[in-house]
């Protein structure tokens, strides 16, 4: 049973972001693909910001706020859970610094996204572009830092495949987003607004997969609520170091059984010894062999 745990933060964030994007896109299509005042004369495909600057601006702002707040909670949860041993612990100060840098960069991206939704492209075009760059750069840099942290964690904890999976997902996000952002910038500079609009929508949808990737990172914390199930510095549950709990290994079970058998045999040796001398029965608890002189 998964239960409700920290993994709910990226799920809420991703669903909110995806729902907002789909709402804006469907609204623009159902409304007959109108040409908004913020669009260029030659432009026929609306930017996300063009749609978000109109009647659905409250949805754009609310979606951006909820998405980034719960995503930042995912970052903070990941740091807290590693510190508590609910996830594989950081093994060096460098890893901890990378984790905090990723959080700081994510906060920068949060500020960028919330501000670009407030300062829309219709009324504040220059500010909107600045915050758009801040949003994309903040989360890409954050992904680079967390990728570096996971790469180092993966070296120490090769037994945890989930670290490698998360690393490759985030690396894929970095490469794709950088390529799309460069193409978006080139198209915008050369006034090819329709391809630029398509690229902006693509950047936003790819961001959804990045958000959902934190579900993979936080899911193992479901199984580490009890202290003996938490990770030690070697990446193994603490219970394995003491041979207790559900994580007890087969070798530890054999060792424990061996100790139990030894105690049983000792108790047998100390059992009652019955002797008969001159038709009189004596019971002793000497705990020594019959042939012993003690």
pLDDT digits (tens, 9 = 90+) for 207-220: 999 999 999 889 88
Instruction: Give the residue-averaged pLDDT of 117-123.
Output: 91
Question: How far apart are alpha carbons 15 and 71 in whole angstroms?
Answer: 11
Q: How confident is the model at residue 112 (pLDDT cuts 50, 70, 90)?
A: very high
How remote is the C-alpha of 138 from its chain's centroid? 18
Q: How confident is the model at residue 223 (pLDDT cuts 50, 70, 90)?
A: confident
Residue with the larger pLDDT of the pair 47 and 280: 47
Question: How far apart are alpha carbons 127 and 220 in whole angstroms?
Answer: 41
Residue 37 CB coordination number (10 Å): 9
pTM of the predicted protein model: 0.73
Task: Assess whether pLDDT exceeds 70 at residue 234.
Answer: no
Contacts 24+ apart (CB under 8 A), 80-86: 81/6, 81/218, 81/221, 84/230, 85/224, 85/230, 85/231, 85/232, 85/238, 86/220, 86/221, 86/224, 86/225, 86/230, 86/231
Share of residues in the chain with pLDDT > 70 (%): 74
Of the listed ranges 16-20, 38-42, 130-134, 264-268, the one predicted with least confidence: 264-268
Instruction: Give the residue-averaged pLDDT of 16-42.
Output: 93
Q: Say what the alpha-carbon torsion angle 11, 16, 21, 24 is, to the nearest 10 degrees.
A: 160
3-state secondary structure of 283: strand
Neighbouring C-alpha atoms within 13 Å toward the C-beta of 81: 24
Rounded to the nearest 5°, which phi and psi values hold at 273?
Answer: -115, 120
């Amino acid at each position: 049973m998964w239960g409700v745990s920290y993994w709910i933060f990226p799920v809420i964030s991703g669903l909110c972001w995806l729902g907002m994007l789909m709402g804006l896109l469907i609204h623009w299509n159902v409304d007959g693909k109108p040409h908004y005042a913020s669009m260029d004369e030659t432009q026929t495909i609306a930017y996300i910001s063009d749609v978000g600057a109109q009647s659905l601006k409250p949805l754009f702002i609310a979606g951006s706020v909820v998405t980034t707040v719960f995503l930042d909670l995912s970052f903070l949860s990941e740091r807290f859970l590693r510190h508590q041993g609910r996830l594989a612990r950081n093994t060096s100060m460098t890893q901890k610094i990378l984790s905090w840098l990723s959080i700081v960069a994510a906060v920068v991206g949060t500020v960028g996204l919330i501000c670009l939704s407030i300062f829309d492209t219709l009324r504040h075009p220059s500010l909107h572009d600045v915050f758009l760059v801040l949003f994309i750069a903040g989360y890409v840099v954050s992904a680079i830092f967390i990728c570096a942290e996971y790469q180092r964690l993966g070296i120490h904890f090769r037994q945890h495949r989930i670290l490698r999976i998360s690393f490759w997902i985030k690396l894929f996000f970095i490469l794709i987003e950088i390529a799309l952002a460069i193409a978006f910038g080139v198209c915008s500079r050369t006034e090819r607004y329709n391809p630029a609009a398509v690229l902006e929508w693509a950047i936003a949808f790819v961001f959804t997969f990045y958000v959902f990737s934190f579900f993979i990172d936080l899911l193992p914390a479901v199984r580490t609520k009890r202290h003996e199930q938490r990770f030690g510095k070697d990446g193994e549950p603490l219970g394995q170091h003491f041979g207790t709990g559900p994580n007890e290994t087969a070798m530890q079970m054999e060792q424990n059984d061996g100790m139990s058998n030894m105690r049983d045999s000792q108790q047998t040796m100390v059992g009652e010894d019955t002797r008969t001398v001159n038709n009189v029965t004596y019971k002793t608890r000497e705990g020594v062999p019959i042939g012993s002189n003690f």
